[in-house]
Amino acid sequence: MTSSFWSRILVSVVGLPVVLVLVWVGGWWLWLLTVVAGLIALHEFYVVARPLRPLVPAGYAGLILTLLGAQLGGSIWMVGGFLTTLAFAFLLKGISDTRQSLTVAVATTVLGVAWTAFGLAYLLLLRDLPDHGRLAVFTVVLAVFAADTLAYFTGKLVGRHKLAPVLSPGKTWEGLAASTLMAVLVPFFALYHQDFLSVGESLALGAVIAVAAPVGDLFESAVKRDLGVKDSGGLLLGHGGVLDRLDALLFASVASFYAILALT
């Protein structure tokens, strides 16, 4: 646990400030961050899904176009960018010489883009919310990070009851309780007296994050178990790969965007 503990601290101390600075700046700098993080995360997924023969160039192109659409034209062009993934994948499969099922190869390619690109694209959409976009992204990112961190250490220190022993043996109900509390408290304090969401609405947003983030985490655990791997990669030391670090945020960003639209 010691090496994992210190590697997590190191990655957090270095990485989190960089992310927050680029969220503050916004614009194309934040877009560039999402593209780099998205391409790395998508690459990690395609590596572990290699037996399914994903059409990698089509996935990379689809991710970039999805994020470009979100940056330039909002949700409509975001969807348009994503749909190019299907067309590119079909064309590449048509000229490739692999014997993998077209359905499996194309579905794997599209799943990777939908999973990574949409989650990151919704961060861009959150950042573009009128007046409070910066505050919205800060709140979601910090809530997910704090909840995930507290869940990890609570599970390691006092976790006794397994949450999903088949999908993710390391997760505990004690960790989930701690992460739920943190996910609700961060929006409450971050948005208190900010003329954005009321106290009740802030708590509702926290509840949405508290549900969506663990589901995103468990979704990645299910995918990794299905593909027979422990981590998506080793780039972030104790955090595993970039996809391991983003899994909760990819789901929470989508859920938070729609929750904020519904609440405001």
pLDDT given for residue 172 in this prediction: 84
In angstroms, how far is the first alpha carbon of the chain from the final one?
Answer: 43
Per-residue model confidence (pLDDT) at position 128: 95
214 half-sphere exposure, CB direction, 13 A CA radius: 27
Dihedral class, residue 69 (left if φ above 0, else alpha if ψ from -120 to 50, else beta): alpha
Question: What confidence tens digit (pLDDT) does each residue in 119-174 have?
Answer: 999 999 999 998 899 999 999 999 999 998 888 888 778 878 788 777 777 788 88
129 φψ region: left (φ > 0), alpha (ψ -120 to 50), beta (else):
beta
pLDDT of residue 88: 94
pTM, rounded to two decimals: 0.90
Report the C-alpha dihedral over residues 160, 209, 229, 108, rounded to 10 degrees: 150
Q: Virtual CA dihedral for 96, 98, 104, 108, nearest 10 degrees?
A: -70
pLDDT in tens, 193-203: 888 999 999 99
Contact assessment for residue 88 and residue 61, using Cβ atoms and an 8 Å cutoff: yes
Q: At which residue do the structure tokens 């064309």 appear?
A: 91
Is pLDDT above 60 for 238?
A: no
Output the pLDDT for position 115. 96
pLDDT in tens, 30-60: 999 999 999 999 999 999 999 999 999 999 9
Q: How far is CA 154 from CA 51, 144, 157, 239, in A?
A: 36, 15, 5, 16
What's the confidence (pLDDT) of residue 2? 47
3-state secondary structure of 232: coil
